[in-house]
Amino acid sequence: MTQTTFGYDSEQDRLWMMYSSDQPRIWITRRLAQGIAGSLMQLIEKTTMGLAGDSPGKRAEIEHRMAVRETPDGAVRQYPYQVRTESKEALHAQGFVLCTVLNANIHSGGGQITFGSEQGQVKFDFNRYDLHVWLRAIRMVITEANWNLSPSLPAWLDEPLLPSSIQNLLNSPLPPDLDADPAP
């Protein structure tokens, strides 16, 4: 998968995506993000394999949980969950193109997502693991933008990355006697 970086420009009220340091960043409007929230999520749910008794949403949730918590055999672990800021000058120095078309071809093994602009197309090929990592990253920037999309993105995209047993441990109050000297 091509490394991508997402961000939000509050002055433009647009998300941006960078996939190469020598290419302009791609503006993603709220309307286009809405397409990701609706149509792309439906495609993912329809193409997720799993137990026949589970709903498409439940199968996608399980697949997503596995993708963001585990690294498939032979895959390089991805860590896209970094938030950083950059100066306005650095942000605009690379230039931008407005994405006007989003096409997705998703299947049980992965798929392609193509962003189109007046300057051409940028196509990303994904396996299922990379697709979920990418969606998690774009979800973070949509949350940062405070865009309340309708339909909203599925709740499983907001699920914490840590297993519940570790979350419970981290969220439990500390014992009051941690600093006490141990009994002889």
Instruction: Provide the whole-model pTM.
Output: 0.73
Q: 3-state secondary structure string, 14-62? A: EEEEECCCCCCEEEECHHHHHHHHHHHHHHHHHHCCCCCCCCHHHHHHH
pLDDT on residue 162 = 67
Whole-angstrom Cα Rg for the chain:
19
**What are the tens digits of pLDDT across the range 25-67?**
899 999 888 877 778 888 888 888 877 788 888 888 888 888 7
pLDDT on residue 18 = 86
- For the cut 80, the answer to whether the pLDDT of residue 184 exceeds it is no
pLDDT on residue 57 = 85
Higher confidence at residue 156 or residue 33?
33
Higher confidence at residue 19 or residue 159?
19
- For the cut 90, the answer to whether the pLDDT of residue 94 exceeds it is no
Q: How far apart, in whole angstroms, are the C-alpha atoms of residue 57 and residue 44?
A: 9
- Which among 20, 133, 127 has a CA at the least distance from the CA of 74? 127
The full set of domain ranges for the chain reads 5-171
Q: What angle do CA 151, 18, 20 make, to 5 degrees?
A: 145
